[in-house]
Chain A
Amino acid sequence: MMKKIMLIALSVLMVCILTGCGGQKEAAVDSTADVALKELVARHITKAGAMIEMPETDLEDYIGIEPSMYKEAVYLQEGTLDGDEVLVIRAVDSKAADSVVSCMENYLAQRLKETQNYLPEAYKVLKATGVQRKHNTVALIVMEKATDVTTALLAGE
């Protein structure tokens, strides 16, 4: 009888370990909520330090992302006609994040229109990227393998 009980207990324990009871899987990705956005971008995009930090006013003037929509913003340009771009916003709330997504999608559409006839290589890179969001953090990264970079950057958000 005791042996049966022990066997059952061991089986339950093994099932728990195998299925990761207690949220161990979620704890594998460290939260980046307390990491400054600039620092977060620098961790995932090695060339960020060499890119041009565009004025925050450009976010509203050209893209329509108003200061009231976000807590933090990073806007970088490589500075060439077909250069990489990094646009990451931590919105103040979910509704603001919706607006930021919309603005970024408009911006991407504009860039696609600009480059389609003039810069075919840049057009290809733009076509392969897209706006991604995790909770209230929204990102548009234009570079080779942008989707992978963006996914990794947003993982802890």
Chain B
Amino acid sequence: MKDMVKSAYRQFLAGVEEKMKRLLALLMCMFLFIGHAGAERLPDDQLITYYDQAVFVGDSISELFRFYVNGVVRKEHPDYFTGVKFYAAHGYKLATAAAPRPSHTETNISYKGNAVSVRGLMERTQPGKVFILLGLGDRIGDNIEKGMEYVEAIVSTVAEVSPDTKVHFFSLTPIDANVEKKAPNRQSKWDAYNVALEAKCKELGVYYIEIAAPLKDEKGLLAQSLATEDGYHLNNDGNAIWVQMLLEFAQGQYDAGLWAPAGKE
């Protein structure tokens, strides 16, 4: 009798052990799957779809990026940046973008030939995503506090007139050694602005995209090989890095479960 009980008990334990083993194996597989999905590197042609139908707002830096996308990227990949619109103008300022109406004195962006504010642009376009790179024209590094007020105003405006639009701010791009020589400490002010901008974006629940770091040389300035002659703007190599950073950002959004390309939802 004792032996029978012992044997039955041993069988029971073995069964439980087997079930536990299977459960453990199943759990491990699940974790591996979830972990693998998050770490999966998507191909570029899927990552770039994060930017489909997006609106980019900016100054001459974005204007040159627009030329790069049309003249270089789309030649090789005609389906990249599908439906993307670039509303950019030389000298367009963060202050002007934050204002409720287009400026009578400063440069404005144009929508269908008419000067518009960001408010007006968002009302008319209602994009799924907006990407903003502004501040150089304002020399906003000299007044970071003011810059943060403008950022808040823009975020607030977009939330009001186009609440489904996801807002993204780019870091200010760096300047090269020649510009820094003529305007000492400007880069350190840009850097401080970018730190503040990142924190502000987090506070406001919008996205910050770091594109400055990979453009810098060992001195923390815009690498000359990536700059145009004036030392402010990016040449094609610099813009190629910008595209890479966009792909990395999209990968990050996918890894965080915040976005997935069509077919992977």
Residues on A close to B: CB < 8 A? Answer: 52-55, 60-65, 77, 79-81, 103, 106-107, 110, 113-115, 117-119
The residues of B that contact A106 with a CB separation of less than 8 Å are 113-114
A62 to chain B, nearest CB (A): 6
Contact residues of B between 70 and 91, Cβ < 8 Å to A: 70-71, 85, 87, 89-91
The residues of B that contact A61 with a CB separation of less than 8 Å are 85, 111-112
**Contacts A52-B67, A81-B60 given; does A114 touch B114 at CB 8 Å:** no
B115 at the interface (CB under 8 A from A): yes
Are A114 and B115 within 8 A (Cβ)?
Answer: no
Report how many residues on chain B are interfacial, defined by Cβ distance under 8 Å. Answer: 22
The contact of A54 among B60, B70, B113, B115, by CB within 8 Å, is B70
Bound complex: CA of A53 vs CA of B68, how far in Å?
12
Of chain B, the residue at the smallest CB distance from A62 is B110
Are A114 and B67 within 8 A (Cβ)?
Answer: no
**Contacts A81-B63, A119-B90 given; does A114 touch B113 at CB 8 Å:** no
**Contacts A110-B115, A118-B60, A119-B90 given; does A77 touch B110 at CB 8 Å:** no
**Contacts A77-B67, A79-B67, A81-B60 given; does A103 touch B89 at CB 8 Å:** no
**Contacts A113-B107, A114-B107 given; does A52 touch B112 at CB 8 Å:** no
The contact of A118 among B70, B90, B108, by CB within 8 Å, is B90
Are A62 and B90 within 8 A (Cβ)?
Answer: no
Are B112 and A79 within 8 A (Cβ)?
Answer: no
